[in-house]
Amino acid sequence: MKRGLTTSQIVCIALLWVALCIMLFTMPSDYTMTEKIFTAIASGIIIYIGISKGNSAANRRRRK
């Protein structure tokens, strides 16, 4: 049976995303700032959806 994400897993995922964003904005590249911002926002949305779905399944099981 699938279990929800623990708090430590959520924090770890969020810290990895922050590290990705820091690398994205500090490493030199040919991308414009607009493309970098879009990438950070799009990846943040993907991470948020994954975390919220992981917790919503656990919350439904707890209510039963």
pLDDT in tens, 6-46: 889 999 999 999 999 999 999 999 999 999 999 999 999 99
Cβ neighbourhood burial of 37 (10 Å; 0-12, 13-18, 19+): middle
pTM of the model: 0.76
Read off φ and ψ for residue 47, nearest 5 degrees: -65, -45
